[in-house]
Amino acid sequence: MGRKRKNPPSATAPVPGSEDQIVGRRFIRLIEEQLRLLHEQPVHGNREVFLDHVVIGHLLAFFNPGVRGLRTIEDALEDSRVRQRYHVPRLPKSTLSDAQSLFDPQLLLPLIQSLRERAGLQPHDRRLDAITRKLLAVDGSFFTVAPRIAWAVYNGSGKGNVRLHTQFNVFDAVPDQMTLTDGQGSETRQLRESLQAGCFYVCDRGFQDYDLFHDILKADSDFLVRLRKTAHTEVLEERPLTAADQAAGIGSDATVRLGWRGDQTPELPNLRRVEVTFVNRNGEQEFILLLTNRLDLPAWLIALIYQHRWQVELFFRWLKCMAHFEHFFSESLNGMTLQVYVTMIGLLLIAVETGAKPSKYDYALLSLAASGMLSMNNALEIAARRRAERKRAAEWQKAYNAAKKNAR
């Protein structure tokens, strides 16, 4: 008789972080200590599923666009070799759904902070260093959910929506904070509740709120907000424009008092209004009004700072189009928030590996590495080569545009 085949080792042991921890997946090695801490959190009701197992299941989905829901996560972990590789048990759809609605997603914040500190990203635009504060582009974006999710039904329309409120760190090119609410969640309230000291908040017209401006200043931070053209400002002093200001499209720069008499927050100081002109896609000239409390910065830099607000818009586009974040695996706010946080973890893992601001190319290559189609070293080598090519192309385009402008 042949030798009896040995049963595979238990999928739930060893505890993450032990000597026998599987290290076949480089991404998991990067966070194994934090996973060990998550493993020590209170156990799920079936006594086999821990929070680190839920995180790993979601990371499998993040790095494999073909994994589109809890059922496909369950199917991927039906293979004992995959379970041994990551040391996770089977994750039936019903169990995983229940677990992600019960585990507290706030427990992932230390892991996110650790990865953010370890991400050695490439230098940002050094002209922004004059800000001397953390630059946060603030905005929100809607995600459609099933209309059966009663708490997310938007404004009695019968359509389900949730809003992802994001504070995007322009210097690090990663989200600093993300909060999920129902579709009617107030953007200004969410920002007010999460204000930090030492930040420079850059916002669009939806954040024009005098009380919010007061609260930002009270928190020892700064703001730059696009004003609605109907906003009333009383000009106190016109500031002179430099050649650099004029070249940047600055039409006017003035110290102003905001609001009609009596409707201004008493503690709000004199502010600064900068008018920026630009040519739109139709070749027509337009202008926008910017309001800030920073009187010390040159006007051209104020315009440049506001241009970087688009980074949060590009992040939403990346999230929806490139990272295939098109729907949630949960119907509970808790489970949706957990999925958002794991997406942040995946994004930061890419930043840690590449040492650069994550791009769609990095995501594609590292997804191939995570699925075993490329070695991690090869993926990183290709990513670095493509990044250098894009940098050279951008420099050439910049030089070409400058030469074309000078030739006119």
CA distances for 353 relative to 177, 227, 252, 316, angstroms: 21, 40, 45, 22
pLDDT at 3: 44
Question: Where would I find the H helices in 49-186?
Answer: 51-62, 70-76, 80-86, 93-102, 109-118
Select from 203, 198, 37 the least CA-distant residue to 133: 198
96-109: per-residue pLDDT in tens? 999 888 888 988 98
Determine which helix (DSSP H) or strand (DSSP E) holds 392, and give its type and residue range. Answer: helix 376-407
Instruction: Give the start-to-end residue ranges of the domains of the chain.
Output: 26-103
Q: What is the model's pLDDT at position 188?
A: 94
**What is the C-alpha separation between 212 and 234, in angstroms, rounded?**
20
Q: Which residues of the chain have pLDDT under 70?
A: 1-26, 43-46, 120-123, 154-158, 260-267, 405, 408
User: Please, which residues have CB within 8 angstroms of residue 26's CB and are 6 or more apart in sequence?
Assistant: 353, 369, 376
Encode burial over 61-72: b for 16+ CB neighbours within 10 A, e otherwise: bbbbeebeebeb
C-alpha neighbours within 13 Å on the C-beta side of residue 297: 27
pLDDT the model gives residue 215: 94
Of 339, 345, 341, 379, residue with least CA distance to 362: 379
Q: What is the pLDDT of residue 268?
A: 80
DSSP conformation class of 260: S
Kindly report the pTM of this predicted structure: 0.80
Per-residue pLDDT at 150: 78
Those residues whose C-beta lies under 8 Å from the C-beta of residue 258, and which sit 6 or more positions away, are: 210, 213, 231, 232, 233, 234, 264, 268, 271, 291
Peptide bond into 269 cis (omega under 30): no
Strands 199-203 and 222-227: parallel
pLDDT of residue 207: 95
Q: What is the pLDDT of residues 259-280, one digit of tens each?
A: 765 555 556 888 999 999 987 7
